[in-house]
Amino acid sequence: MNIKSQLICVLIVTVLSLCPVSNVAAAPVSKLTPEIHSNYAGDLKGGRQTYIIARFFFFAPTFCGEATILTMEVGQSIHLKGVLSYDTPPTNSTDYSHGIPYKTLNIQSLNSDGETWSTVGTLGTSESGAFDVKLTPTAVGVYTYWITYDGDSQYAPAVSNVVTLTVTNMAIS
């Protein structure tokens, strides 16, 4: 290889390392990320922007409601509910005005390294685009989840907000 060919190779490698080939924006994988919605805008899949909102839904003796951060005891159950929607972000986990029906979503959990996510299950959306999964942690710890949608030919991929569950041995008053 002559010097001109070597310089061209170096130039190509430099340009490729400075200019990403894809315009896909990967979702941050830090547990410090408070809210994440569709971070895949511009992905080559799908034509319509999608959004996911996820919230813990709980009943307590004096209150029922939604939260993104919750503390509970080992063995108690909690519902993680939300909606997959298109074009307009949902205002809450029961805003089904733009719900996308019958799609498969991934439940992902933040690994102990605090940087990578693992799929721990899948679930489907209902006719209204809603989803609901019951979680029953069996060990003390902090569990961080989000819901992802891989997208298809019609809808772009999406990532929900982060929800965090702290599980203790005894009730906190």
**Domains of the chain, each with CATH number or no CATH:** 23-168 (2.60.40.10)
Amino acid at site 125 = T
The alpha-carbon radius of gyration of the chain (Å, integer) is: 20
The set of residues, in sequence order, having a beta carbon less than 8 Å from that of 138 and lying 6+ positions away, is: 74, 75
Does this model's pTM top 0.85? no
| φ and ψ of 111, to 5 deg | -70, 165
Q: Alpha-carbon distance 31 to 110, whole Å?
A: 7
pLDDT-based confidence at 146, cuts 50/70/90?
very high
What are 21-32's pLDDT values in tens digits?
222 222 333 333
Place of tokens 């809210």: 35
Interior/surface letters 152-162, b for 16+ CB within 10 angstroms, e for the rest: eeebbbbbbbb
* Mean pLDDT lowest among 6-15, 72-81, 104-113, 141-150: 6-15
162, 170 in Cβ contact below 8 A?
Answer: no
Q: Alpha-carbon distance 84 to 101, whole Å?
A: 8
126, 106 in Cβ contact below 8 A?
Answer: no
- The pLDDT, as a whole number, for residue 173 is 53
